[in-house]
Structure 1
Amino acid sequence: MPININKELPAYSKLIEENIFVITEDRAARQDIRPMNILILNLMPQKIVAETQLLRLLSNTPLQLNIEFLRVLRDTKHTSKDHLESFYRTFEEIRTRKFDGLIVTGAPVENLRFEDVSYWSELCRIFDWAEHHVYSTLYICWGAMAALYHFYGVPKHRTTRKVSGVYRHHLENPGYSLTRGFDDYFHAIHSRHAEVRREDIENNPRASDQLVLLSYSPEGGLYLLQNNNGRKVFVTGHAEYEIGTLGQEYLRDQDRSLNPDIPYNYFPENDTEKMPQMNWRAHGTLLFVNWINYHVYQETPYRLEDIH
C-alpha cells in the first residue's frame, strides 16, 4: 500500500520518478480502510531533502500512511516561508489531535547543550504531549539523544572527531520485533558530533530498567534502542540517508575548513573520486517497516481517541 502525501510536496514528483507507490489525498479518501496517521517533526535544516529521504523508507510498508509534517516555531532559517506554510503544521495546530506514530528527526546542534537550543522548551512540550497523543515515536540521531536526555537523564558527550561513515553493527537482543528479519551483522550510517554512551545507560537505574539495547557498533557506538513496551524507539544513526549524503556533508565540511576525516568505510579504498556503494538501504527499509508494522499498526488502538 502507498503513502498518502500532498501532490504539491516537492518529494512527490521525485518519488514518482523512482517508481515509489504514492497516492494523492483525493484517492486516499475513496479507500475504505483505516490508514495509519504518521506525524514527522522535521528539525533538519534542509527540510525538503529530509522529507524525501524519510518518505522513501516509509513507502515500503504494506499499509496506507497519512503523512503530516510538524515544525517548531524557531526553526525557519533554511526553508522558505511558502514551503513551511504550505506543508507544515505548528504544535498549536495539532496539539489536540492524536496520531498512530511520530518521527522526530535529527538536527545539527550536537555541540550545544540541550538547554541552549533555541527551541528546546517547545521540543520538550512536544515530547511530553506525545506520551499521551501518539502510540509510538521513532527518534533519530540528535532527536534520539534529546529524548534520552529528556525522559531518562542520559547525557550526550561531544566526540573528538565527527562520527561519520558506514559502520558494521551487530544485534545484541535479536528476540525483539523491531529487529525481526535483521541479519546478525548489518551496516548503518552515522553522522554526528556527539554520542550517547553505553555505560551512562547501564549505570542509570531509571534508564537501565526501562531501555533495551538492540544494536551496537564497536566503531560507531550505540545505534538502536527501545523502551520496554516499544512506544519509544531511538536510532542514533541515519538509516534514511541517500547514497551521496555523506559525501556531500564531507565536501561541505571541507569548504568550511573544518578538516573533516574521510567518512569511514564509505568511499571505496578511501578514494573520494570513487562512487560509494550502498549497503545500508535494505536494513533501513526493514527498520522502518518493522516499526510501522509491529510498533504502530499491530499495537495502536483502532480508535485514535483511545490512545493514552
Structure 2
Amino acid sequence: MPLRLPDKLPAIEILKKENIFVMDETRAHSQEIRPLRIVVLNLMPLKITTETDLVRLLSNTPLQVEIYFMKLKSHTPKNTPIEHMMMFYKDFDELKRHKFDGMIITGAPIETMNYEDVQYWPEITNIFDWARTHVTSTMYLCWGAMAALYHFYDIPKYSLAKKMFGIFGQYPLEPTLPIFRGFDDLFNMPQSRHTEVHRNDIEKIDDLKIIAESPDSGVSMVMARGGREFFITGHLEYAPDTLDKEYKRDLGTRDDVELPFNYYRDNNPDNDPLVTWRAHANLLYSNWINYYVYQETPYNIDDIR
C-alpha cells in the first residue's frame, strides 16, 4: 500500500521516479481504510530534503500511511521557501488537538548550544510531553534524541573533540527485539554530530535500555517505555549523497572537517560514496511501523493514551 501525501508535495514526483508508490490525498480519499497517521516534526534546515528522505523509508510497508508535517510557531526556517511551509506544514497549536499513531522528531543544527538557550526550547519540550499521551510510538533522531533524553531523564550531552562524521558499524545488543527483525549482527549507520551521550549516564536510568552501539561512535539506539520511544543518535534516513554534500559544504570553512569515515570508495572524495546502510534503514523503519505502531495502536485513534 502507498503513502498518503499532501497534494503537490515535492517528494511525490521524486519518489515516483524511484518507482516508489505514493498517492496524493485526492486519490487516497477513494480508498475506505483507516491509514496510520504519522506526524513529522522537521527541524532540519533543508526541509524538502529531509521530507523526501523520511518519506522514502516510510513507504516500504504494505500499510497505508498518512503523513503530516509539523512546524514550530516560535521558529521561522531560513532555508525553505515560506510558500512550502505554508502549504505543507501546520503549527503544533493546530495539530495538538489530534492523536497520531506515530511521530518522528528530527535532528537540528543547534547541537553545540545549551538546551535551555535554544530559542524554541519551551515549545519543543511541550511537544515532547504532548507526544507521550497523543502518540503510540515516537522516534527521536540525532539532536532530537539527545534533547528528549535530557528533557525526560536529565541525560547530559558531551562535546566531542572532533566531529563524529561518517559511516560506523553498530551492534544490536538485543537482536531478538522486533525492531531488529531481519537485521545482521552488524549494521552501518551514518553519523554527523559534534556531541554525544554516554553509556554510563543512560545505564543509571531503569526506564532506558541501550539497544545498539558502536565501539567507535558510541551509543546509537536507546529504547524506552517498551518501544513507545526510540532515541537514535545517527541518521539512517540519510540519502547516499548527504554526507558528501556536508563535507564539501564545510571544507575550508571549518577547522574540524575531516574526510567522512568509511564513506567514499577507496576513501577518495573524488569517488562516489559506497552505500552500506540503506537496506537496514528500510528494515528499521518498516519494523517500527509494523511492530511498534500498527500492532500497538488502537483501531480508534482517540483511544491512544
Band the TM-score falls in, shorter-chain normalisation: over 0.9
1:20 and 2:29 correspond: no
Paired residue for 1:62?
62
Contact 2:138 2:229 in 1 (8 A): yes
Question: How far did residue 29 of structure 1 move?
Answer: 1.2
Separation of aligned partners in 2, 1:259 and 1:296: 39
1:279 and 2:276 correspond: yes
- Equivalent of residue 249 in structure 2, options 249, 252, 259: 252
Separation of aligned partners in 2, 1:255 and 1:80: 27
Question: How far did residue 213 of structure 1 move?
Answer: 1.1
Separation of aligned partners in 2, 1:224 and 1:76: 28
Contact 1:43 1:75 in 2 (8 A): no
Q: Over residues 215-268 of structure 1, what are the superposed CA-to-partner deviations in whole Å (9 max), with x where a residue is unaligned?
A: 111111111111141100111100011111101101111142334010010112
Equivalenced residue count is 304
Paired residue for 2:156?
155
Separation of aligned partners in 2, 1:106 and 1:75: 16
Greater mean alpha carbon deviation, residues 87-96 or residues 225-234: 225-234
Question: How far did residue 61 of structure 1 move?
Answer: 1.1
Letter in 2 for 1:37: R
Paired residue for 1:304?
301
Q: Over residues 61-89 of structure 1, what are the superposed CA-to-partner deviations in whole Å (9 max), with x where a residue is unaligned?
A: 11000001001121422211111110000
TM-score by length of 2: 0.98
Letter in 2 for 1:262: L
Question: How far did residue 7 of structure 1 move?
Answer: 2.8
Q: Over residues 181-201 of structure 1, what are the superposed CA-to-partner deviations in whole Å (9 max), with x where a residue is unaligned?
A: 111111111111110111111
Unmatched runs of 5 consecutive residues or more in structure 2: none
Secondary structure of the corresponding residue to residue 184 of structure 2: coil
Written as runs of structure 1 = structure 2, the 5 A alignment for 1:1-308 is: 1-73=1-73, 74-202=75-203, 204=204, 207=205, 209-308=206-305
Q: Over residues 147-202 of structure 1, what are the superposed CA-to-partner deviations in whole Å (9 max), with x where a residue is unaligned?
A: 11111111111111000111111111112111111111111111111101111111
State the percentage of identical aligned residues.
Answer: 49
CA separation of 1:255/1:75 partners in 2, compared to 1, >3 Å: closer, same or farther? farther
Separation of aligned partners in 1, 2:249 and 2:255: 9
Contact 2:44 2:106 in 1 (8 A): yes
Separation of aligned partners in 2, 1:159 and 1:42: 25
Separation of aligned partners in 2, 1:184 and 1:92: 43
Contact 1:75 1:119 in 2 (8 A): no
Unmatched runs of 5 consecutive residues or more in structure 1: none
TM-score by length of 1: 0.97
Letter in 1 for 2:241: G
Query: After TM superposition, which residue ranges in structure 1, 4 or more long, deviate above 6 angstroms?
Result: none
Separation of aligned partners in 2, 1:210 and 1:78: 37
Secondary structure of the corresponding residue to residue 229 of structure 1: helix
Separation of aligned partners in 2, 1:228 and 1:119: 26
Letter in 1 for 2:38: I
Separation of aligned partners in 1, 2:254 and 2:231: 32
Separation of aligned partners in 2, 1:35 and 1:108: 32
Q: Over residues 12-66 of structure 1, what are the superposed CA-to-partner deviations in whole Å (9 max), with x where a residue is unaligned?
A: 1101111111011122111121210000000000000000000000000110000
